[in-house]
Amino acid sequence: MSTHKPNTSNLGQSLYAMAEQLIALENRLKTLEEGKTKVAFSALLEKGGEHGPFNTDVTLAYNKVLTNIGDAYNSSAGVFTAPVTGVYHFTFFYHAGLEHASKLMLFKNSEMIVMTSDQKSRNDPADTGGNAVVLQLQQADKVYVRMPKNNHVWAADHTTFSGFLLS
């Protein structure tokens, strides 16, 4: 009867090589995670009460920035510029009163993507609306919210615009 003894030297070398590969893989994952672009913003219209109506369409410049990770949102222009190609999620909400119609539209570059609206009504003293969308953006694409002429929203912390990079 023959007894076969495992070669502990080869087994030890294999385990050591596997451990080295695992450490290298962990280090690579850490490097990838550290290099991952992080993009997220959330802003609101803070100034004023009633915002509008205006005689022309306006891009809303959400002036109170709560979060702007990656500095991709420009609060003076009201425009988000994609720092990297990827899939992004955007939301926008508003609150308004009965004096005028309320309508907001989200644009990607110069193309209207989604909107939300409500007509003025004496039976409905307050209007709220919002929308959300997931968009594939190329680096430098622009996303912003426009309000058509003769519409209005409340600007006292009721009207928001947010977005973040999904992948």
Q: Are 105 and 148 spatial neighbours (Cβ–Cβ below 8 Å)?
A: yes
Residue 143 has pLDDT above 90, yes or no: yes
* Per-residue confidence band for 24, with pLDDT thresholds at 50, 70 and 90: confident
Q: Regarding predicted confidence, which is higher, 167 or 66?
A: 66
- The lowest-confidence range among 6-20, 73-87, 95-109 is 6-20
- The DSSP secondary structure of 68-130, one letter per residue, reads EETS-EETTTTEEE-SSSEEEEEEEEEEEESSSBEEEEEEETTEEEEEEEE---TT--EEEEE
pLDDT at 34: 57
Which domains, from first to last, does the chain contain?
Answer: 40-165 (2.60.120.40)
- Whether this prediction's pTM lies above 0.85 is answered by no
The whole-angstrom separation of Cα 29 and Cα 13 is 24
- The lowest-confidence range among 11-15, 77-81, 118-122, 129-133 is 118-122
